[in-house]
Structure 1
């Protein structure tokens, strides 16, 4: 597969590299894990195959040999030699064809899977590009030729209807440091509306909105954080950690998004408004 154009941001992603936090390396992996997994399933790949994660479309690639591709994550349109081929289904591509991903109207990150997976060399057991740690393959650039792995023996099969688009507040589990905030701050966090700041990426989403007031003034020793952790720095404005988050954080984590909510957060554009709610216990 030859990269012709990358759009605003295209990186290689897979299921991530868990188990290396002691080395200072976070799991990374696809930012929207549900969309990533579905793209691989549609392409007939086993779980964990590497794909292209494309932010705001604009991706164009060509194939030297016949291929099967699938696109998920947003409402971007997949085209083959300029003809719309649909999305959320396996699409056969003839040799020499150009595959493009249009700019989505809704959502942020699209996932282009190729049957066989992108077969670049793994780093610490993963083909994911970690934008914070600088670990993993380089970001693809125009002119790069990416190897495709051998196609699986099993035939391509549909994983079923796509899941419905979820709306409403992002579900969270409070803690582990919700006791560092006042009762009023917890009520604000679970009731106020926040706006996604332009200062966001695969590392974290900064939110604008009412400040959350701490009940403690002491410094918190750095401790481990996870994808979906909602950390609150001294200015009181929450930050949602995404896939390329740091291994540790020194500010209290008021709550952690559920896995499904973390996937939804991965598709939020700057200017989007969100609310938080407690997940059912």
Structure 2
């Protein structure tokens, strides 16, 4: 049976597809790929449906050995991909022979890469998705050394291209576009969101990106200290707790929360936020 055997998972490697939308009323997050655009691109390159299951590799360090010949690609930020120690590049279609060692190194900029194989990975589904949800625990466990990952049969024709340009070098600071959220006016000075110089807190993860303010910038403050009942929280929500340090919610975010949702990221900015590394500078721009 064709497949990959994990040699090293790196800091975090997990199965991801486009998630399990439609279950928020049951308290189930959508989950899925943190950078959905990169997942879709990877699957298109190898001729899979955009929703096929791939591997989300967080900050490199991933290695696996092939059983049988396979066709694969790696997307997300530009990075180094090695086949038996030979650099083959990312964002292109790669052939790996039986027994080949496939490695995905940490990208120089960005955080999450997506490894897709033609035919997709065969993974048991929960609520219609094979995604690992780090908040609820639904879906398969994160990948571990010696895990065997079976590959399915291709169900679609070859795509017309076998290479896609990688993303352009990100501006510094990284600019994320927001729209006003339902509780925008809960802030005493809403403009502080866009005026403040932010940096990514190392405690960020697939649930959300936490932002720290530069010491010389005032943090956004609530207009009152009154607590609110919990409300629904969408993907890309920007919550501001009493500390004034915003949280940008990603794929595994909770579906309700008690802090005000003062803004919401655009879809493209959700993907960009998923690639933010600890310490990276960020600006929020109001659309």
| Distance in 2, Cα, partners of 1:97 & 1:150 | 20
Equivalent residue for 2:115, pick from 112, 115, 123? 112
Query: What is the match of residue 177 of structure 2?
Result: 171
- Distance, in Å, in 2 between the alignment partners of 1:140 and 1:160 is 27
Quote the residue 2:99 is aligned against. Answer: 96
Residue pair 2:8, 2:61 contacting (<8 A) in 1 also: yes
Match of 2:241 among 211, 224, 233: 233
Measured in 1, the distance between the counterparts of 2:265 and 2:29 equals: 17
Q: Deviations over 1:112-167 (max 9, x none)?
A: 01111111101110000000000001111111101111112402432754454453
Tell me the residue number matched to 2:268.
Answer: 260
Distance in 2, matches of 1:232 and 1:141, equals 35
Matched residue, 1:197: 201
Task: Report the alpha carbon displacement of residue 268 of structure 1 after superposing the two structures with TM.
Answer: 0.6
* SS in structure 1 of the partner of residue 148 of structure 2: coil
1:231 and 1:248 mapped to 2: Cα distance? 11
- What is the 5 A alignment of 1:81-230? 81-158=84-161, 160-167=164-171, 168-182=174-188, 185-209=189-213, 210-230=218-238
- Residue segments in structure 1 that go unaligned for 5+ positions in a row: none
* Structure 2: runs of 5+ lacking an equivalent: none
**Aligned-partner Cα distance in 1 for 2:65–2:16:** 19
Q: Which residue of 1 aligns with 2:66?
A: 63
* Whole-angstrom CA distance in 1 between matches of 2:9 and 2:20: 24
Give a deviation string over 1:153-193, Cα, whole Å, max 9, x none: 402432754454453521000111101112xx211111111
CA RMSD of aligned residues (A): 1.3
Aligned residues of 1:39 and 1:112 also touching (Cα < 8 A): yes
* 1:131–1:208 Cα change, 3 Å: same
- The answer (yes or no) to whether the contact 1:44–1:157 under 8 Å persists in 2 is no
Give the alignment's TM-score, normalised by structure 1: 0.95
Question: Where do 1:24-103 residues align within 5 Å?
Answer: 24-103=27-106
SS in 1 for 2:21: coil
Q: Conserved in 1, the CA contact under 8 Å of 2:57 and 2:114?
A: yes
For 1:166 and 1:186, locate their aligned partners in 2 and report how far apart those are by CA, in whole Å: 26
Structure 2 Cα separation of the partners of residues 86 and 107 of structure 1: 16
